[in-house]
Structure 1
Amino acid sequence: MTTGVSRVGRSATGRRALPLFAVAMESTWRSLVGWCVGLTATLCLYLPLFPSIGGGQQMQQLISSLPRELVRTLNYDQIGTGPGYAQSTFFGLMGFVLTTIAVITWGAAAVGGDEESGQLELTLAHGVTRSQVVLERFAALVVRVVVMVLVVFVVVLALNEPSQLGLDTGHLAGMCLEFGLLTLLTGSVALAAGAVTGRRVWGIGAGTAVAVLGYVFNALGNQSEDLQGLHAFSPYHAVFGPNPLTAGADGGVVLAFVVAIAVIVALAVGIFSRRDVGR
């Protein structure tokens, strides 16, 4: 069976312009398909329920009976509207969890996982640069995120009318853009931590910390005015706090995420290019 390293060796001879990118996509396409199927199944499970429970009086009464702190923690305060229901149940909860797990797994393995297994030294021996390793594998991560977000956009759009959600197509596109950037930020942190430390576990830990702390700071900041300052440290709140499914994407938030991701990747390239590999 052909290994990833041997494929890199053949590609590095000039047959492919982006050999590491191509190998990364070839080796993970099955998992990408699996995550897309999972996201589709989750959407098909949750969104069609809105007409029966999300927009009914029964659901409103149930939410009203819950402790206000719990409702704010789960971002269920607008669950009675179509955009609020879609954001609360999928984008801000199950979709966030599924895509975060996927990108952290891919990001942590991109450099740190290869170094732990010993494949990275063999890859570098085939005439590719260290910056090329980070950048091409980051590019593969970007493509995977784009594919997942496009699947989400298409499926939500297809379910919008049958599920009586009343979503605006432009607002949905903005939501998907910010949702994808949030996901990519988490994956970029995992990739960078793996590249800096050479350990997959540190990549998983760093990416998980960004996702979990972002969610926790948002939940705590929702509890009272005294704690709202925590929102400034939550990328989760930056995306979901302004309710983009209702108000549309925020250009400032999009720019901030792009800049943050670029800085993280640049730091990963700079540090990885200077440290000893396999030490």
Structure 2
Amino acid sequence: MSTGELSRADARGSGRQVLPLFVVALESSWRSVAGWCVGLVAALCLYLPLYPSIGGGQQMQQLISSLPKELVRTLNYDQIGSGPGYAQSTFFGLMGFVLTTIAVIAWGAAAVGGDEESGQLELTLAHGVTRPQVVLERFAALVVRIAVLVLVVFVTVLVLNGPSQLGLDVGHLAGTCLEFGLLALLTGTTALVAGAVTGRRVWGIGAGTAVAVLGYVFNALGNQSEDLQGLHAFSPYHAVYGQNPLANGADGAVVLALVVACALLVGLAVAVFSRRDVGR
């Protein structure tokens, strides 16, 4: 948050505007959000329309059958022969996952840790806001950014569903987008918490990356054999995509678990950040 933005937040706060840090955080990041939305739409427009042009289910299944089984399991391409399986494997579980992970880690790590590292956080706290307010309002801004990305993805997939001959169920798509967003929120929240606890942006980036990468790796390893399936229990990625939500619908237990995990992480951030020295 720049000095100018601090002055605006302070002025709004003195005018009793609700959630001044939340408003400023959204205003200062709308270009970033718009850019990531464009990237997600571009990825969807690149991948989904290819489904009918490559022969749909039968031809795609023949192609996948020619690949090494280990590679297919690693990339979660075992269900790619169907429209829902294709959309989930190519976008939700791969390219969309990568793009949103990069975005939310950057946002989460910068939310508290980035400001403290740059020296701006002390100025923010000097403007009459509390430490819990900083964490909670910045977390709320992260939630809204992710919600915008998810809404754009949902609408774009809905528009491409018919022309791409995917045969997606609207309810299953909505559930998948919800889980897709919550998985991103878990990663971004972890980055925010690590930044708030350590006061360093780099630790936020590292923690968020660890959640995303290890979740994907544990899922890939667990897919290789029955002996390694226990690793699935440590993978939020598998929790979301292991039951093929685009074909079967979202799992309410997974949704609840992700919401609770994010809430606990935010609570941890508030508790630790409220008690430690800032800038040391």
> TM bucket by the smaller chain?
over 0.9
Conserved 8 A contact 1:220-1:230: yes
RMSD of aligned alpha carbons? 1.1
| SS of aligned partner of 1:3 | helix
Task: Determine the C-alpha separation between the residues in 2 that align with 1:101 and 1:200.
Answer: 14
Q: What is the CA distance between 1:151 and its match in structure 2?
A: 0.3
Task: Determine the C-alpha separation between the residues in 2 that align with 1:62 and 1:250.
Answer: 30
Conserved 8 A contact 1:54-1:85: no
Q: What is the CA distance between 1:60 and its match in structure 2?
A: 2.1
Partner of 1:215: 216
Partner of 2:18: 17
| SS of aligned partner of 2:49 | helix
Q: What is the CA distance between 1:54 and its match in structure 2?
A: 6.0
Q: What is the CA distance between 1:161 and its match in structure 2?
A: 0.4
Task: Determine the C-alpha separation between the residues in 2 that align with 1:26 and 1:167.
Answer: 35
Task: Determine the C-alpha separation between the residues in 2 that align with 1:11 and 1:115.
Answer: 22
Note the alpha carbon deviations across 1:164-210, whole angstroms, 9 max, x for none.
00000000000000000000000000000000000000000000000
Partner of 1:200: 201
1:229 aligned onto 2:217 = no
Structural mapping, 1:8-157, within 5 Å: 8-53=9-54, 55-157=56-158
Task: Determine the C-alpha separation between the residues in 1 that align with 2:64 and 2:170.
Answer: 27
Partner of 2:190: 189
Note the alpha carbon deviations across 1:8-32, whole angstroms, 9 max, x for none.
2212213421100011001100000
Q: What is the CA distance between 1:76 and its match in structure 2?
A: 0.4
Conserved 8 A contact 1:54-1:81: no
TM-score (norm 2): 0.98
| SS of aligned partner of 2:153 | helix
| SS of aligned partner of 1:9 | helix
| SS of aligned partner of 2:48 | helix
Task: Determine the C-alpha separation between the residues in 1 that align with 2:162 and 2:32.
Answer: 30
Conserved 8 A contact 2:57-2:83: no
Matched residue count:
279
1:258 aligned onto 2:262 = no
| SS of aligned partner of 2:54 | helix
Conserved 8 A contact 1:218-1:230: yes
Task: Determine the C-alpha separation between the residues in 2 that align with 1:201 and 1:249.
Answer: 33
Partner of 1:164: 165
Note the alpha carbon deviations across 1:188-245, whole angstroms, 9 max, x for none.
0000000000000000000000000000000000000000000000000000000000
Task: Determine the C-alpha separation between the residues in 2 that align with 1:61 and 1:68.
Answer: 13
Partner of 2:250: 249
Runs of at least 4 residues off by over 3 Å: none
Identify unmatched segments of 5+ residues in structure 1: none
Q: What is the CA distance between 1:156 and its match in structure 2?
A: 0.2
Note the alpha carbon deviations across 1:103-136, whole angstroms, 9 max, x for none.
0000000000000111100000011000000000
Conserved 8 A contact 1:221-1:228: yes
Task: Determine the C-alpha separation between the residues in 1 that align with 2:127 and 2:89.
Answer: 47
Give the share of equivalent positions with the same residue, in percent. Answer: 83
Q: What is the CA distance between 1:58 and its match in structure 2?
A: 3.5
Task: Determine the C-alpha separation between the residues in 2 that align with 1:272 and 1:126.
Answer: 17
1:271 aligned onto 2:260 = no
